[in-house]
């Protein structure tokens, strides 16, 4: 079964999860967050769960094989017309693995929405979220590390998406509704 893939990309605190969920609702696609898949895994009691928890608490990326071992089977078994992915791929290596996976499945990388938000605004939003959600990985140190990793590992992917002609840049410093309305203009016929 052909499945359509849409990525939502942006720094932590850019609002990408919110936008990805709203778009998934609009298209009746399945929303997938690797952060959520990994957090679910850390709730288990085995040694592997403990190791993953340590990566997350520091704000580090968990090993590729682990993320892909959770994500790919989920993508394969979920009956859906498409997925909106939040949090994956996060590095050039992950993107290469993912493109290979998509070509094996004969699935299409449809579009990549990049939410552009200034670093200052992202830090501000993450600190607010840390107070509300009490996420363990939103301490000052983990926030700094996650944003650093984003710039070093994830931001370079934009060039690849541009080459693949799937990249759409969206101004992320507007209301949730305005951003979503702009994203939906690309799917008006749905
Ligand atoms: P997120 O909810 O997307 O901010 O992810 C929270 C944490 O989960 C990250 O700081 C990483 O430790 C881990 N994580 C999520 N997605 C990935 C990924 N694609 N590769 C490696 N680690 C990830």
Q: From first to last of its 190 residues, what are the pLDDT tens digits of the chain?
A: 889 999 999 998 899 999 999 999 999 999 999 999 999 999 998 898 999 999 998 889 999 999 999 999 999 999 999 999 999 999 999 999 999 999 999 999 999 999 999 989 988 888 888 788 877 788 888 888 888 999 999 999 999 999 999 999 999 999 999 999 999 999 986 5
68 pocket-lining for ligand 1 (C-beta < 6 Å):
no
Is 32 in a helix, a strand, or coil? strand
Burial class (CB in 10 A: 0-12, 13-18, 19+), 158: middle
Task: Give the span between the Cα atoms of 18 and 63, in whole angstroms.
Answer: 25
Site to probe by mutation for ligand 1, drawn from 34, 65, 145 as the one with most ligand atoms within 8 Å of Cβ, is 34
- Cα 34 to middle of ligand 1, angstroms: 6
7 pocket-lining for ligand 1 (C-beta < 6 Å):
no
What ligand 1 atom has the least distance to the C-alpha of 52?
A: 12
Is 34 in a helix, a strand, or coil? helix
The pTM of this model reads 0.93
Residue 57 CB contacts under 8 Å (≥ 6 apart), including other chains: 136, 137, 142
- Cα 95 to middle of ligand 1, angstroms: 14
72 pocket-lining for ligand 1 (C-beta < 6 Å):
no
């Amino acid at each position: 079964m052909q499945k359509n893939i849409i990525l939502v990309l942006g720094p932590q605190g850019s609002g990408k999860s919110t936008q990805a969920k709203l778009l998934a609702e609009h298209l009746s696609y399945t929303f997938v967050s690797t952060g959520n898949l990994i957090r679910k895994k850390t709730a288990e009691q085995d040694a592997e769960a403990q190791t993953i928890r340590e990566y997350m608490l520091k704000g580090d990326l968990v090993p590729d094989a682990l993320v892909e071992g959770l994500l790919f089977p989920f993508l394969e078994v979920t009956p859906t017309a498409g997925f909106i992915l939040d949090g994956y791929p996060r590095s050039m290596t992950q993107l290469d693995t993912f493109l290979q996976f998509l070509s094996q499945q004969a699935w299409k990388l449809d579009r990549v929405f990049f939410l552009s938000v200034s670093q200052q605004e992202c830090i501000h939003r993450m600190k607010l979220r840390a107070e509300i959600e009490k996420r363990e990985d939103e301490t000052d140190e983990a926030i700094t590390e996650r944003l650093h990793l984003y710039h070093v590992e994830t931001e370079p992917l934009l060039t690849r998406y541009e080459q693949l002609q799937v990249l759409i840049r969206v101004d992320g410093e507007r209301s949730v509704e305005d951003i979503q309305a702009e994203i939906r203009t690309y799917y008006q016929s749905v």
